[in-house]
Structure 1
């Protein structure tokens, strides 16, 4: 682990390997670089220089009193690349990180080599449970109760992952331990609760990159789990059809967490797609 200051805030990150740069951006809720990417960093470091930061407010990075919007994360990750002189990185973003990856390509001077939005957020406005999702976003006490249960029980932590994976029995013990470890950090879910407050309205999600995908000029591989109930696979199909230089790979035995559900396949996809010239 190393630390770099971006806009006055410390960002913790893992750096490994030598080769073309590959930036891995994690998702929301209780996540961090080592949580979602823990099983793929080492094998990917055989081909790439891998950077897996804890985004602002997550993991071991600073938790300043700011609005944790997609735009905030995009600006911070652009600053991360600037501070570390990361040039022409391939960017793989998971869920929330997928939206940040699209934002880096569309709204900043980061000259991405390849994009791999995985289980990508930001491809539509419809809330997964309609008005109920909006109401729950305004009741942060429920999330605090869930986090308290995570902290008390590794078993509850594993069971809760059924909401984002197709089969919890496929998860490694190291994976469950990583989630449980980060659930017990003082900042667990704080940034995500703030993000959800700003992102969810009665009309739906605020962030929707779909109308802008016509302007996406970076070779892009959308990766999505067939059984994803958080972001329906149909949204990735529509996005891949709309972006001018994009394709889609659907993982049949995955839901919303491919780097943990099928790490070997993710390594293969990233190596083949991002390693090409």
Structure 2
């Protein structure tokens, strides 16, 4: 993986790139995460695709301007990122908040996307869950114990999260403006209209992947996406929580590649 940077207006945006295929796959991470969240599947995808993984604006090591972090703001950021990086008609994967951003963008730019994969996407659920509450607390009071507790709850596996994951999260949340961007995003999501009305505008082939044991955004919310998106397929990843691409990267990558290879 190669670390790169580009400029979007006055903001410096970091991203990872791997692979040299003519076909592009863009991965969008979730709330409070960074491009590294995808590190277990990037090598699996880069064998067949040029993989581009940004730290979305406000998160990771990209700039965190003092703005309102609304779903519309993130969708506009994605459009600007595609333009500045010269990406045309990529396949697009989004997880959690990244799933909402990917769906929001594709609902109004279906001609610009080849295929869409949404992983436990946000945008429908409006109330919180205990696992999400723990994650918010870890972001506001970033220390090893709070972060470890949050990731244990999110994965719902009973196993301790990787120390590197925990330490990296704590480090990022202590960066200037990181908490502000995190909380502004939460408020922006809470005060936005439900994604439901926009899903019917998505006209590209779509795959929904959801961990069966997801305690952050429970799997029953998948029905709203499946019923609203015209050309939609669904795969439940049994035994996984909120990030199946971290817990079972081989199965996840296999299902995604199978979908991308299909007519």
TM-score (norm 2): 0.88
CA RMSD in angstroms comes to 2.5
How do residues 1-277 of structure 1 correspond to structure 2 at under 5 angstroms? 1-19=3-21, 20-28=23-31, 30-34=32-36, 36-108=37-109, 111-124=112-125, 126-128=126-128, 146-147=138-139, 149-151=141-143, 153=144, 155-169=145-159, 171-201=161-191, 206-277=192-263
**Alpha carbons 2:17, 2:51 under 8 Å: kept:** yes
- State the Cα distance separating 1:160 from its structure 2 match: 1.9
For the structure 1 residues 223 and 82, does the alpha-carbon distance in structure 2 shift closer, same or farther, using more than 3 Å as the test? same
Name structure 1 gaps, 5 residues minimum. Answer: 137-141
For the structure 1 residues 167 and 70, does the alpha-carbon distance in structure 2 shift closer, same or farther, using more than 3 Å as the test? same
- Name the stretch that deviates more: 184-193 or 43-52: 184-193
- State the Cα distance separating 1:211 from its structure 2 match: 2.2
**Alpha carbons 2:26, 2:93 under 8 Å: kept:** yes
For the structure 1 residues 16 and 182, does the alpha-carbon distance in structure 2 shift closer, same or farther, using more than 3 Å as the test? same
- State the Cα distance separating 1:189 from its structure 2 match: 3.3
Name structure 2 gaps, 5 residues minimum. Answer: none
Look up the SS of the partner of 2:208 in the other structure. strand
For the structure 1 residues 88 and 276, does the alpha-carbon distance in structure 2 shift closer, same or farther, using more than 3 Å as the test? farther
Look up the SS of the partner of 2:128 in the other structure. coil
Between the two proteins, the alignment pairs up a number of residues equal to: 258
- State the Cα distance separating 1:198 from its structure 2 match: 2.6
User: 2: distance between equivalents of 1:111 and 1:158?
Assistant: 38
For the structure 1 residues 273 and 170, does the alpha-carbon distance in structure 2 shift closer, same or farther, using more than 3 Å as the test? farther
**Alpha carbons 1:123, 1:236 under 8 Å: kept:** no
Look up the SS of the partner of 2:12 in the other structure. strand
For the structure 1 residues 207 and 27, does the alpha-carbon distance in structure 2 shift closer, same or farther, using more than 3 Å as the test? farther
4+ aligned runs moved over 6 Å, structure 1: none
For the structure 1 residues 53 and 122, does the alpha-carbon distance in structure 2 shift closer, same or farther, using more than 3 Å as the test? same
- Name the stretch that deviates more: 156-165 or 91-100: 156-165
